[in-house]
Structure 1
Amino acid sequence: MFAGHFGLAAIVKSRTNRVPLWALLVSSQVLDVAFIPMVMTGAESMDETKYGGGYGGAIIHADYTHSLLGAIILTLAAAFAGRWIWGKRAGVIIGAVVFSHWLLDLIVHRADMPLLPGNWGDLPLLGFGLWQYPWISITLEALLIAAGTWMYARAAFQQSGERSRFARVAASSLLGVVLVLLLVSDAAGWF
């Protein structure tokens, strides 16, 4: 679920003008952006040996960034930044998009997402495991991409004047192509 996060950001953008598209796209990936330095320092990791890697094949040990409490902390930090830059409503929107990452990951991840950072208290790990059924998870991600591209393009077309209509539709089409390419490159490891 990489490109699907971007598809959801495009859906949100189609419903609001308060936050730029780039900010929503970044917001949809805040948990994964925070994951990168954690992997580099060894605090978090990915294990591709158990399920063979590829699309949804890794067990992700993101015990801080993808824990429920960690996601809430990152959500609040991003919402505060969004509020400071674009106002209260934008902060709420950005926070919702950041937290949507955790919710979508909950659907596709195997049980590898802890409730508390570092899996403190050794509580049960969460994840519904849709990645065990690659065609279903790829279809869900493709639907998010299609809906996001269509809704974003539709909103851009309706909001634009004659002079900027072509530019907005072209940008919407480019967004759709990029999202589809992301899904294809992500899913290619599964085949």
Structure 2
Amino acid sequence: MFIGHFGIGFGAKAATPGISLGTLFLAAQFLDLLWPTLLLLGVETVRIAPGNGSLTPLVFEHYPFSHSLLAVLAWAAAAALLYGALRREWRGALLMALLVVSHWLLDAIVHQPDLPLYPGSATFVGLNLWASLPKTLAIELPLFGFGVWLYARSTRAQDAAGKWGFWSLVAFLLLIHAGNLFGEPPPSSDAIAWVGQAQWLLVLWGYWVDRHRRPAARG
């Protein structure tokens, strides 16, 4: 899953207007921001196998430290403790933890059974919605659209950057999603890792957009 995670980040702004969109993206997409670094270090592995019965040509062979349930719970707790310690705001800290965990739960819907429960687990989770393009789109697009709607409804642009920066971010995420679904397979696992590192630019884009928007008045 890709834009579904960003949809969760967008939508979370409605619940916590004081937290930047960049921070919400960072929490919701944290596992896939961590994973490319572990790939480059050789700690985790992925194989490229077009025609494997999934919309993605990637076979996630070994990623227990970024995507096992136990590791995700540990990362979620760490994110909550770090945010709480820095901001002294524990409602936001709880949201950070929930966003990190939400990534694993959404992945469990679309992935093949390749998500381990813990490092070394012989049990793997995945409902394999990626086996069907219509079902995948029926989950991801409404989730993304609803999140974008919540963000747009709960914030107001302060200037042109806040308006067009936001909508260009939405369009760019949809473009990446289309490329993921219909583009050519990546040439190597290193290429996957370096492209994955580029997702940090999306987090920075979220921070920039949010600086040019303000919470909408309630009433």
1:147 deviates by: 1.1
Corresponding residue SS for 1:179: helix
Instruction: Spell out the pairing of 1:7-156 with structure 2 (5 A cutoff).
Output: 7-49=7-49, 51-52=51-52, 55-60=55-60, 61-86=62-87, 87-119=89-121, 122=122, 124-156=123-155
Aligned AA (1:156): T
How many residues of Structure 1 are paired with residues of Structure 2 in the alignment? 183
CA contact (8 A) 1:149 1:173 kept: no
Distance 2:14 2:166 in 1: 11
Corresponding residue SS for 1:16: coil
Higher helix share: 1
1:146-186: CA deviations, max 9, x gaps? 111111111113xx6xxx27654434323321221221122
Corresponding residue SS for 1:14: coil
1:9-42: CA deviations, max 9, x gaps? 0011122213110001111111112212221222
Distance 2:176 2:4 in 1: 9
CA contact (8 A) 1:8 1:144 kept: yes
1:138 deviates by: 2.6
Identity of aligned residues (%): 30
Unaligned runs of 5+ in 2: 186-219
Aligned AA (2:18): R
Aligned AA (1:154): R
CA contact (8 A) 2:55 2:132 kept: no
1:50-80: CA deviations, max 9, x gaps? 7459843322131221001011011111111
Paired position in structure 2 for 1:180: 174
Unaligned runs of 5+ in 1: none
Deviates more, 1:132-141 or 1:44-53: 44-53
Distance 1:190 1:145 in 2: 23
Q: What's the C-alpha RMSD, in Å, of the aligned pairs?
A: 2.3
Distance 2:170 2:22 in 1: 14
Q: Return the TM-score normalized by structure 2.
A: 0.75
Corresponding residue SS for 2:66: coil
Distance 1:175 1:16 in 2: 20
- Compared with structure 1, are the counterparts of its residues 181 and 146 closer, same or farther at alpha carbon in structure 2 (3 Å cutoff)? same
Corresponding residue SS for 1:59: strand
Distance 2:67 2:7 in 1: 20
Distance 2:5 2:41 in 1: 25
Q: Return the TM-score normalized by structure 1.
A: 0.85
